[in-house]
A and B are shown apart, each in its own frame.
Chain A
Amino acid sequence: DTAVSQTPKYLVTQMGNDKSIKCEQNLGHDTMYWYKQDSKKFLKIMFSYNNKELIINETVPNRFSPKSPDKAHLNLHINSLELGDSAVYFCASSQDYRGQGLFFGEGSRLTVL
């Protein structure tokens, strides 16, 4: 029974396409996040939602649009994909916005050709 699940696990697509990654958590947490891990394993926060409200929006191109239909789900839509978007995208959740102990999904590896 996976706590934080992401789909799809792998995405291979062409430049210019639009793609979405879905995330769901069954932990009853209030806060969810999207992190990007680049090819050098560096992890950087992109967005955070608390009870469906956007609370953190880092310097991310506006081609990236998160959506939280309810507090258990946080999806990431990416328009006009570029080569530099290739990375592993991790969804995470925490009990509240204090973020004490994030639970991570297994990641979605996006490859843009």
Chain B
Amino acid sequence: AQSVTQLGSHVSVSEGALVLLRCNYSSSVPPYLFWYVQYPNQGLQLLLKYTTGATLVKGINGFEAEFKKSETSFHLTKPSAHMSDAAEYFCAVTRNTGFQKLVFGTGTRLLVSP
């Protein structure tokens, strides 16, 4: 079975500061990993994903994440926060074979102050 732990239900940064949202996963088989963003009263939008290949993946809106198997981590970063980045961020994991179902973390709310 797969699971995801997102450390910190809330993260606050100043505009222009580094954004770091933490995600650790547990999986008995090689995982596929995802980050999604949810703006208020909207559905989830895929930011980026890791399936195979390069462990540093780049996504939309300047976000990137690095798959670190030794640390079972997939942290999300952005060099410079923008006010429009304020949203809820979800890390998710699935296995890489068979019928897949995404298992989500509990989410991290990113707050960006001027």
Please name the residue on chain B nearest to A96 by beta carbon: B100
- Indicate which residue in B42, B44, B101, B106 contacts A56 across the interface (CB closer than 8 Å): B101
Q: Are A101 and B34 also in contact (CB < 8 A) when A41-B106, A42-B104, A43-B90 are?
A: yes
Are B43 and A99 touching (Cβ within 8 A)?
Answer: no
Are B43 and A105 touching (Cβ within 8 A)?
Answer: yes
Query: Given the complex, which residues of B lie within 8 Å of A100, measured CB to CB?
Result: 32, 49, 51, 100
**Nearest CB of B to A57, in Å:** 10
Contact with B along A76-109 (1 / 0, CB 8 A): 0000000000000010100001111111111100
- Indicate which residue in B44, B100, B107 contacts A104 across the interface (CB closer than 8 Å): B44
Q: Are A104 and B104 also in contact (CB < 8 A) when A50-B99, A97-B99, A99-B94 are?
A: no
Q: Report the interface size for chain A: residues with CB under 8 A from the other chain.
A: 26
Query: Given the complex, which residues of B lie within 8 Å of A98, measured CB to CB?
Result: 100
State the CA gap A56–B88 with chains docked (Å). Answer: 26
**Best-buried of A42, A90, A101, A107 by chain B (most CB within 10 Å):** A101
Q: Report the interface size for chain B: residues with CB under 8 A from the other chain.
A: 24
Please name the residue on chain A nearest to B34 by beta carbon: A101
- Indicate which residue in B46, B88, B107 contacts A102 across the interface (CB closer than 8 Å): B46
Query: Given the complex, which residues of B lie within 8 Å of A105, measured CB to CB?
Result: 43
Are A104 and B49 touching (Cβ within 8 A)?
Answer: no
Give the B-binding residues of A (Cβ under 8 A): 4, 33, 40-45, 48, 50, 55-56, 58, 90, 92, 97-107
Given A58-B101, A102-B44, 13 extra CB contacts under 8 A: A43-B44, A43-B90, A48-B101, A55-B99, A56-B101, A92-B43, A99-B100, A100-B49, A100-B100, A102-B46, A104-B44, A104-B45, A107-B43
